[in-house]
Amino acid sequence: MYEPVVIYQDNHLIAIKKRPSDIVQSDKTGDVPLSDYVKEYIRKKYNKPGAVFLGVIHRLDRPASGIVIFARTTKALSRMNALFRNKETEKIYWAVSRAAPDNPAGELKHYLFRNTEKNKTFVFDEPDKKGTQEAVLKYEVVAEIGGYFLFRIHLITGRHHQIRAQLSHIGCPIVGDNKYGYPRGNRDQSIHLHATELSFVHPVRLEPIHLIAQPFDDVIWDKFKDVFSHFSLTESE
């Protein structure tokens, strides 16, 4: 059985570096979710009999990679849910596009409508459609190599497909994301979007936690290894 890449764990939380192919929790595909792999990891590592509790705190799109954190206790789950709900976490992403925006840095504010039947999010410049939600992110284009532009994104709100939809809306679809306008998908069905940093106050110990996970090796991400090391000198272990 696949063993997940663990970047942080204690008695209350466990953080994983998710592969692009993983789903965080069960869905209609019937594929084994990351949460099941993590439960099995905990059961074996700590020799736990019976069912293992694991609470899903947040999600990450299946074709994206990066940090996903789970709760190992109900106390941690409820408190982490509150941190995410109240925007008391800091989330940083890497994204790669073949296009650059007019401004190399700035804030994007749009209004998103999620179509559940199509599993797609639509972007509006004004809140003129029933059911739209405000979406905000900050971005900076930090490097360009061989026609590929690396975005560093600070996600303010956490809407469905938010980064993918907003970057596409400004003419910068993410590499591999043909759902949102990139002309072709990646062979492994991944997209070049990676949740690289997550910061928060530990829900029980009340200590600051800063998690870092660099992208998995591939021909495009590897172009920017020196850039990653400039922004994040060490990776969580």
- 77-127 pLDDT, tens per residue? 999 999 999 999 999 999 999 999 999 999 999 999 999 889 999 999 998
CATH topology assigned to domain 5-231: Pseudouridine synthase (3.30.2350)
pLDDT of 218 reads 95
Tokens 């910061």 locate to 199
Domain coordinates in residue numbering, the chain: 5-231
Name, in order, each residue with C-beta under 8 angstroms of 32's C-beta and a sequence gap of 6 or more. none
Terminal-residue alpha carbon distance, the chain: 21
> Which of 233, 61, 223 has its CA nearest to residue 142?
223
Give the type of residue at 26: S
Name, in order, each residue with C-beta under 8 angstroms of 84's C-beta and a sequence gap of 6 or more. 57, 58, 158
Give the C-alpha separation, 159 to 161, whole Å.
6
Give the C-alpha separation, 177 to 86, whole Å.
29
- pTM score > 0.85 for this model? yes
